[in-house]
Structure 1
Amino acid sequence: MEEPQETLFAVLIRQLGWEDYEVFSARYAETARRLADVTRTPAVASAHLEKRQFDRWRRAGLKRPPRREARRVLDELFPGHSVELLFRPVATASASGRAECSQEAPEASIDSGIEDVVMTAANESARFAAQAEGSNVGPHTMEQLEADIRRIVCTYPNRPVGPLFQEVRELRNHAFRLLEGKQPPAYTRDLYLASAVLCGVLANASFDLGCYSAAETQARSAFLCGELAGHNGVRAWIRGLQALIAYWDGRPTDAVRLAEAGSGYIPEGGTAHIRLASVKARALGQLGRSSDALGALHAADTLRDATNGADDLPGGMLAFLPEKQLFYASSTLLWLGGDQHLADAESRAQEAVAMFSSAEPGERRLGEENLARIDLALARLGRGDVDGAAEQVHEVIGINSRRHTESVARRLAYFRRDLSRHAAATSPSAIALREALMAHQHHTSTALPPGETA
């Protein structure tokens, strides 16, 4: 007798580290409670998953579809994957949708599975970090390394991640090789700082490719290098990145904890603490802690007023621009809901979009601009302006068709879900928009390399 085929659900929970029933059921129950609070539907909070049902979901041949409450929780846990797709045999599901990290990047020099390459790079960083816990460098070498890093962090927001990942990995390995030699202590510190930044960029890129486990490994190695460099600015920035990964991974409590841990490192200068407060606000908003979330937004504004514009980090993707702060605030306010918060979210997202779109063509942060536009669309949808929301989403589809990002794909999936539940879901504008979103999802799942997550 043949063994039952595994479902896409089984593949996804294995990739996310949720294979154990106790781990997944805890995540499932937490999501059900949060969804009940956000949507004000108490029935969802009672959703409970028995182990027998969990085991059935992992094997193809499910006889009965999940109940309505379970479907809503699964939509929240796996945005972008329909419940029907989740329980198909994985070979069938892969023809209709993709699991995380399965997408190949045609523009990249990575020819085989991107996940293998990303995980290999993460393991290399982890091995180095383990060795580091236990002169071949001169001024020219350091100047070149620092110049390469500045170029990479400044061009990251506009480049496909595939080719960039390979380049950063090679540069990081070069810094590691230099550290294995002998050099004056001052150069050792500079090399550890360079390695921290490069591992941080690889963490960000791994995250953008949807490989959260690899991203967290790279971030831990980056933080260790920052510790060895004794550099508070990079330590605060890495803690912010770790908090961001936790937030997008559906772990808002961890995101708050990491953001608070990062605030203990007083940067030499720059915007790392503004970012920490803004990520914390988003996570608190996701948890429904309204007064705390608004307090974190106020703290970010206060820190922005106090900054002097100097930065001890190389700028580019490591800098937290005012327009980025604005759309983090809009995301926070969207989580909180209510007429006034929706109006404030629309205002901040609109201002962020205007600032992003006014940048010089070579300096536009397209992924972040798209996320701000989706926030603006969600705010307008929440206020009943379907046509205004559609205008922004069509802009996003146009940009994302040229430069695909994982975060934008996720946010579009959330938007499509909210649109399908809207009172005007059957209007011609809403129907046309859903069709455009479905066509875009099909196109980008097979054709384009991913980019950055904000």
Structure 2
Amino acid sequence: MESEPPLFQILVNDRGWREYEVFIQRFVKAARQLAELEGPASIATITIERRQFYRWMHGELRSAPRREASRVLTFMFQLPVERLFAPAPTSSRSLRNEQVESSSASDWYEHDAEDLVTAAAQESARFAVRAESSNVGPHTMEQLESDIRRIVTTYPNRPVGPAFREVRELRNRAFELLEGRQPPQYTRDLYVAAGVLCGVLANASFDLGRYEAAETQARTAFMCGELAGHNGLRAWVRGLQALISYWEGRPRDAVRLSESGSAFTPEHGTAHIRLASIRARAHGQLQQANDALTALHGADALRDQLTSEDDLPGGMMAFPQEKQLFYASSTHLWLGGGQHLADAEVRAEQAVNMFEAAPADQRRLGEMSLARMDLATARLNRGDLDGAAAQIHDVLAVSARRGTESVRRRLGQFARTLAQSPAAGSPAAIGMHEAIAAHHEHSRAELAPGGTP
């Protein structure tokens, strides 16, 4: 009696990977993803020979695959290697049940309910892609653009980690579509979609304190904008690159990148207002008061001329009035002095009020916290400890739900300024310092640079 084929053969045939050239592409791609997700980096170079693949297909194993190859196979199929190379179940129903039970058990313990709902929606979207006669059609693009609008709208209000995982999955889908064949009219739209998603991943990497990864994602996003010929995307990405430089303490690079972005004229929107506002903060960091104020006035003039919405999907990619106000408050804080501190406080308070006016589930939490940090710093510098403390405690409450590296840094800067102030020994100052220290201790593991998002 002929022996049952290995489960590996059934799964490979079911996925359409029965040819070595097809399978090895999937294997190499999985190895790279595993290296990026779990490490070590050397696993990205793992491959297998043609002869070995066909031995696996026919169950002719002389020994178990070596450890690195086993890890890649487990990552690809979400099943242990021992099970992959055991005889396949005789019933296709039992095979499906086994896969469902294995994946659902691990999903339940590794992801929250929101992740499972998102995964189910993604599975349905992928089915719709396969059901269309071409690689990309109207429904595929409609679904992709709908997912992107949802992501950029909800990102500012969600914890960064779960959002990162969802955006990464969607970006991979866009990449896979671009690798296939699609009607020419959809190629540009796919490049814009992939660029936006890489831009969101860059922003998320930045929020997680992974600046090098953020810069890599931003470069890919800009390349997609170049390939699509989309000035709005190119200008937005240049702004993000300038923002990363600003936070890394490279204000001259931030000025250069923001000026470079201004060369791309989008058809609509706020991208140039954002670039001017970022440039103002960088000039402020450099103590170049005239240039900083000129950039702020330029941003105000562009706001007055604004007649239409962005040609990007909005949400986190838009630059609303309240965000412009707190960029202005940061600029005035850098410049220092009595009048600039007063201007910083006024603009930061206006920004906080506007952020708070949004419905609770639509508030831009990280940006609102940064505006509160500006307001707290301005009040501290004019001796209003109670006013500063009210803002700090609000920031800590939000950061416990949605922590970002930029807010963590600003809290650390505030704590150092507080320790050097004449009121450092007051009960209000001691209370703020202890609350910030406790928050840093609690969030260190989540936000420490070098962790895996």
CA, structure 1 residues 447+146, in 2 after alignment: closer, same or farther (shift >3 Å)?
Answer: closer
Q: For 1:134-283, what aligned pairs fall within 5 Å after superposition?
A: 135-283=134-282
Measured after TM superposition, the shift of residue 439 of structure 1 is 1.4
Paired with 2:110 and 2:245, the residues of 1 have a C-alpha distance of 27
Measured after TM superposition, the shift of residue 447 of structure 1 is 6.2
CA, structure 1 residues 403+449, in 2 after alignment: closer, same or farther (shift >3 Å)?
Answer: farther
Structure 1 match to 2:416: 417
Deviations 1:392-437 (A, max 9, x none): 1111112212222211110000000000111111122111211111
CA, structure 1 residues 280+109, in 2 after alignment: closer, same or farther (shift >3 Å)?
Answer: farther
Q: For 1:53-452, what aligned pairs fall within 5 Å after superposition?
A: 109=111, 135-446=134-445
Structure 2 match to 1:43: none
Measured after TM superposition, the shift of residue 449 of structure 1 is 9.9
Deviations 1:89-120 (A, max 9, x none): xxxxxxxxxxxxxxxxxx9859xxxxxxxxxx
Deviations 1:54-111 (A, max 9, x none): xxxxxxxxxxxxxxxxxxxxxxxxxxxxxxxxxxxxxxxxxxxxxxxxxxxxx9859x
Unaligned runs of 5+ in 2: 1-108, 113-133
Paired with 2:234 and 2:110, the residues of 1 have a C-alpha distance of 30
Aligned with 2:358: secondary structure?
coil
Paired with 2:140 and 2:373, the residues of 1 have a C-alpha distance of 43
CA contact (8 A) 1:204 1:241 kept: yes
Structure 1 match to 2:54: none
Paired with 1:391 and 1:174, the residues of 2 have a C-alpha distance of 44
Deviations 1:311-341 (A, max 9, x none): 2110000000100000000000000000000
Aligned with 1:311: secondary structure?
coil
Q: State the one-letter code of the partner of 1:163.
A: P
Paired with 2:343 and 2:163, the residues of 1 have a C-alpha distance of 37
CA contact (8 A) 1:206 1:214 kept: yes
Cα RMSD after superposing both structures: 1.7
CA contact (8 A) 2:208 2:447 kept: no
Measured after TM superposition, the shift of residue 164 of structure 1 is 1.3
Paired with 1:160 and 1:432, the residues of 2 have a C-alpha distance of 27
Measured after TM superposition, the shift of residue 444 of structure 1 is 2.0
Paired with 1:373 and 1:249, the residues of 2 have a C-alpha distance of 21
CA, structure 1 residues 255+424, in 2 after alignment: closer, same or farther (shift >3 Å)?
Answer: same
CA, structure 1 residues 108+370, in 2 after alignment: closer, same or farther (shift >3 Å)?
Answer: farther
Tell me the TM-score normalised to structure 1 length.
0.69
Measured after TM superposition, the shift of residue 283 of structure 1 is 0.5
Paired with 2:193 and 2:434, the residues of 1 have a C-alpha distance of 46
CA, structure 1 residues 380+251, in 2 after alignment: closer, same or farther (shift >3 Å)?
Answer: same
Q: State the one-letter code of the partner of 2:318.
A: A
CA, structure 1 residues 331+283, in 2 after alignment: closer, same or farther (shift >3 Å)?
Answer: same
Aligned with 2:267: secondary structure?
coil
Unaligned runs of 5+ in 1: 1-106, 111-134
CA contact (8 A) 1:108 1:162 kept: no
Paired with 2:404 and 2:209, the residues of 1 have a C-alpha distance of 10
Q: State the one-letter code of the partner of 1:348.
A: R
Paired with 1:213 and 1:288, the residues of 2 have a C-alpha distance of 26
Paired with 1:225 and 1:375, the residues of 2 have a C-alpha distance of 35
CA, structure 1 residues 108+371, in 2 after alignment: closer, same or farther (shift >3 Å)?
Answer: farther
Larger RCO, structure (CA 8 Å, separation 6 or more): 1
CA contact (8 A) 2:152 2:314 kept: yes
- Which deviates further from its counterpart, 382-391 or 221-230? 382-391
CA contact (8 A) 2:322 2:350 kept: yes
Paired with 2:274 and 2:110, the residues of 1 have a C-alpha distance of 30
Deviations 1:146-170 (A, max 9, x none): 0010011000001112121111111
Paired with 1:227 and 1:393, the residues of 2 have a C-alpha distance of 42
Q: State the one-letter code of the partner of 1:214.
A: A
Q: State the one-letter code of the partner of 1:251.
A: R
Q: State the one-letter code of the partner of 1:318.
A: M
CA contact (8 A) 2:376 2:392 kept: yes
CA contact (8 A) 2:209 2:447 kept: no
CA contact (8 A) 1:269 1:310 kept: yes
Measured after TM superposition, the shift of residue 173 of structure 1 is 1.1
CA contact (8 A) 2:373 2:410 kept: yes
Q: State the one-letter code of the partner of 2:390.
A: E
Tell me the TM-score normalised to structure 2 length.
0.69
Q: State the one-letter code of the partner of 2:230.
A: H
Paired with 2:260 and 2:194, the residues of 1 have a C-alpha distance of 21
- Which deviates further from its counterpart, 341-350 or 402-411? 402-411
Paired with 1:409 and 1:246, the residues of 2 have a C-alpha distance of 17
Measured after TM superposition, the shift of residue 446 of structure 1 is 4.1
Find the structure with the greater CA-based Rg.
Answer: 2
Paired with 2:151 and 2:220, the residues of 1 have a C-alpha distance of 19
Q: State the one-letter code of the partner of 1:327.
A: F
Aligned with 1:384: secondary structure?
coil
CA contact (8 A) 1:256 1:284 kept: yes
